Amino acid sequence: MLTLKRARPAARALTSVLLAAATVTALSHSASAADSLASAAAGKGRYFGTAVAANHLGEAAYANTLDQEFGAVTPENEMKWDATESTRGAFTFTAADQIVSHAQSKGMKVRGHTLVWHSQLPSWVSGLAASDLRTAMNNHITQLMQHYKGKIYAWDVVNEAFQDGSSGARRSSPFQDKLGNGFIEEAFRTARSVDPDAKLCYNDYNTDGVNAKSNAVYAMVKDFKSRGVPIDCVGFQSHFNSASPVPSDYQANLQRFADLGVDVQITELDIEGSGAAQATSYGTVVKACLAVTRCTGMTVWGVTDKYSWRSSGTPLLFDSNYAKKPAYDAVLAALGGTGGGGGGGTGATCTVTFARTADWSDGYNGEVTVKAGSSPITGWSVPVAFASPQKVTALWNGSPSWDAGGTVATVRPTYNGSLAAGASTSFGFTVAKNGSSALPAVGACTAS
Ligand code: XIL
């Protein structure tokens, strides 16, 4: 094949150029490729995570966006009681394991969600009498935490145990109603005894500002700390919309909890809306976390609007075509990252497709097609992660900048940056397999 014949000799000539580029990039990260949410957050000593659903991991755009942008995951439903112990004593970990091993293979943190919660709770649990319920609760905590021991950064041990409104009271649940106020303390003590290395969090919603509900949680945490009940962190879900916007005292509220001697985390962030208003709210949340030393990280409740639990409210950072939204730019900017490309109002978007165009025993050629969205674009960039120990020996119609490890190339245009709306261009490369025939992971396209 003609292309192949031309590409392989060119490969040798280009090798030294590419190696030189890799070295330079390694030394000057800030001047190189656009940051991801994860890398920008890491620069501030924080993680930036997302909720993940196991059944979407097989969708290339989903997995690529996840892998490119996020440094932590929370299984959206897969670790909940109804998913893991729908029948008493019979534990199912398949879907959650899939997420955890994906995360581990990419070096992402995992938040465990959640051990004791009134919702997504099988009916056999609510049918138990008190002493049996106590046994079942402690066994559930023990089995899950043992299964994932050493793999979980933080567990939401108890979720949503307080009532909304002005009462500050506990919410009615099988645990509360049958075991009384002590169930939370008991759950945390059991959790600590099973995995002393995981951070143990209490997690709730409508506790994001100072109000009766957050005051009640605050009093509980203060009491736990004074009596030595093991608690390490408080999660603030932060599900916002026009009826429940980001509170003006959000940062102050995070700070008062941190001052009790616990870490705070934003655990399920999503903000309904669009455009600049949504972007501004996201920026406010990120800045609040960064301003609180003990705010250790942020998690958005999903990768894309396409699969959000509140999809019609378009509350996430990537739209349903995986294009970055202005909210993405605002988050990246608040994290001090460079790059962006969420359009910021320009409407510039692009998508990518990948094909292996030739394959031989010790190498292959790949081609990435870049297609402009519904607006013209003047530039694009595409991250391509190659499987180690593969080596790229040639790359044409694109200009790569390499990460420090020399496996991820962020490819930008050489002559082919300007595309009319809906028009395409492509770049290609030759890869020496070095024993691995794995395909590269082609990340989301960023347009300008
Ligand atoms: C939601 C999931 O996103 C949905 O897919 C599911 O149907 C219901 O639960 N508070 C929590 C999360 O702690 O577990 C919830 O997740 C959203 C509210």
Assess whether the C-beta atom of 53 lies below 6 angstroms from ligand 1: no
Query: What is the distance in A from the centroid of ligand 1 to the CA of 133?
Result: 23
User: Residue 276 contacts by C-beta under 8 Å, 6 or more apart in sequence?
Assistant: 326, 345
Q: Rounded mean pLDDT of 142-165? A: 98
pLDDT at 349: 78
pLDDT band at 33 (very low <50, low <70, confident <90, very high): low
Query: What is the distance in A from the centroid of ligand 1 to the CA of 103?
Result: 20
Query: What is the distance in A from the centroid of ligand 1 to the CA of 123?
Result: 18
Does the pLDDT value for residue 339 go beyond 70? yes
Does the pLDDT value for residue 318 go beyond 90? yes
Look-up of token digits 């969600």 = 113
Is 160 an annotated catalytic residue? Answer: yes
Does the pLDDT value for residue 54 go beyond 60? yes
The 3-class secondary structure across 86-124, one letter per residue, is: CECCECCCHHHHHHHHHHHHCCCEEEEEEEECCCCCCHH
Q: For a pocket test of ligand 1, which of 52, 119, 234 has the largest count of ligand atoms closer than 8 A to its C-beta? A: 119
Does the pLDDT value for residue 232 go beyond 50? yes
Query: What is the distance in A from the centroid of ligand 1 to the CA of 115?
Result: 13
Which atom of ligand 1 has the smallest separation from the CA of 160?
13
Closest CA to 16 of 427, 368, 392: 392
* Mean residue pLDDT across the chain: 91
Assess whether the C-beta atom of 309 lies below 6 angstroms from ligand 1: yes
Give me the amino acid identity at 218: Y
User: Residue 312 contacts by C-beta under 8 Å, 6 or more apart in sequence?
Assistant: none
Does the pLDDT value for residue 330 go beyond 90? yes
Does the pLDDT value for residue 67 go beyond 80? yes
Assess whether the C-beta atom of 76 lies below 6 angstroms from ligand 1: yes
Which of 12-26, 39-53, 112-126, 399-413 comes out lowest in average pLDDT?
12-26
Does the pLDDT value for residue 403 go beyond 90? no
Residue 174: which H helix or E strand, with range?
A: helix 174-179
Does the pLDDT value for residue 223 go beyond 70? yes
Distance CA 1, CA 363 (A): 14
pLDDT tens for each residue of 249-306: 999 999 999 999 999 999 999 999 999 999 999 999 999 999 999 999 999 999 999 9
Does the pLDDT value for residue 347 go beyond 90? no
Q: Atom 7 in ligand 1: which residue has the minimum CA distance?
A: 309
Is 78 an annotated catalytic residue? Answer: no
pLDDT tens for each residue of 409-429: 999 999 999 888 889 999 999
Domains and CATH numbers, the chain: 2-32+346-447 (2.60.40.290), 37-334 (3.20.20.80)
Does the pLDDT value for residue 444 go beyond 70? yes
